[in-house]
Amino acid sequence: MKLVERIAFVSHTLDDLFPHPAVPLQHKDPYTLLVAVLLSAQCTDERVNKTTPELFALADTPDEMRHLAVPQIQRIIHPCGLAPAKAKHIHQLSEILVRQHQGEVPQNFADLEALPGVGHKTASVVMSQAFGVAAFPVDTHIHRLAWRWNLSKGKNVLQTERDLKRHFSESDWNKLHLQMIYFGRTYCPARGHKPQECPICSQIGRRILFKPGHADDKP
């Protein structure tokens, strides 16, 4: 397939399989989404969703969270991995939100990415899913799919993000990000992938295997 054909095929296939993708992380507002996304680093959404109810029962606002002790936060979020750093970041960013942003999650990339533990991908998720701002969050999983489907030759997630933004309409970015997440989990995993059974890889027929050393290829 030519590039324009691959783009159309991917878009149509994702729309058919996941027409109305929901945000996989349970949350009630921008702050709880921000904390959940931070916890999801190197952790499954399923595990995060099992962990956050206990945390949010104690504190689901920046002001409440900053009054918890870091060890208390760490104990609760331990199942999510990297708990010492994540607990410290959650506590610190909550303090910053109260002191610098009137307890509200800022609605711009610069202020979000200035928060402890919040990188571009996390900020993109919050901007797109909490505030409806067009963004295309790319993690290693979406990076892998874009490479398999020959939609990007990017050597890192930022290069892949730029390619995907060029290929697809801005109005579809937020939806496509979620669709690719669900598709990857269901049909195109990092490990145990069966290209002949994948609705997209079986038709595109290129870059079936992720290039060794191209980037992290974690399940």
Backbone angles phi, psi at 14, to 5 degrees: -65, -40
- Give me the amino acid identity at 136: F
Q: Six-digit token pair at 138? A: 């790319």
Neighbour tally for 54: CB within 10 Å: 11
Q: Six-digit token pair at 35? A: 């904390």
Q: Find where tokens 């159309």 sit.
A: 8
Q: Would you call 48 exposed, middle or buried from its count of C-beta atoms within 10 A (0-12, 13-18, 19+)? A: buried
Q: For the chain, what is the radius of gyration of the CA atoms? A: 18
Phi-psi region of 116 (alpha: psi -120 to 50; beta: other; left: phi over 0): beta
Active site residues: 121, 139
Q: Which of 198, 214, 139, 196 is nearest to 13 (CA)?
A: 198
Q: Find where tokens 């900020």 sit.
A: 123
